[in-house]
Amino acid sequence: MGRKYYCDYCDKRLPAGLNHRKSHNQGIQHINNKRIYYLQFQDPVEILLNERTKKICNKWNQSHSCPFGDNCKYSHRSNYELIQLIEQAKQNLNNQLNFDIHRWIQKKLPSEILLPESLAS
Ligand SMILES: [Zn+2]
Ligand SMILES: [Zn+2]
């Protein structure tokens, strides 16, 4: 019984039932999608500047969970998320400013983050 649940973050229909929903909401994919969804409403440049001063959270890196959640002083962002942010920042900056994004990325991002080839030049 009950209607099917639609997850906006994942753009996906889920079988009815609280248990399906609960286990879906705890899945890594859903959590990632949700974070990426909310990134749309934040200034990517600001996030990148924030993130670059943080070290990668070891707990998060290993298990994708951390008791400190969003209040953790270490970074929970994956390379994939950071690359998305860079892409967004690039677009924003290209539209607004005449700005050397490549230099900015090299300066501002921690060296352990691997850039896609299109950005690494
Ligand atoms: Zn979902
Ligand atoms: Zn953490």
User: What's the 77 CA to ligand 2 centre distance in angstroms?
Assistant: 10
Q: What is the separation of C-alpha 13 from the centre of its chain, rounded to a whole number of angstroms?
A: 22
**Shortest-distance ligand to the CA of residue 56:** 2
Could you tell me if 44 and 85 are in contact, meaning their C-beta atoms sit under 8 angstroms apart? yes
User: 3-class SS at 88?
Assistant: helix
Could you tell me if 32 and 25 are in contact, meaning their C-beta atoms sit under 8 angstroms apart? no
CA dihedral 54, 55, 60, 62 (to 10 degrees): 170
User: What's the 84 CA to ligand 2 centre distance in angstroms?
Assistant: 20
Instruction: Tell me the pLDDT tens digit for each residue of 63-103.
Output: 888 898 878 888 888 777 777 777 777 777 666 545 555 66
Q: For the whole model, what pTM was predicted?
A: 0.46
- Indicate the range of 1-10, 17-26, 81-90, 98-107 predicted with least confidence: 98-107
Pairing of strands 5-7, 12-14: antiparallel
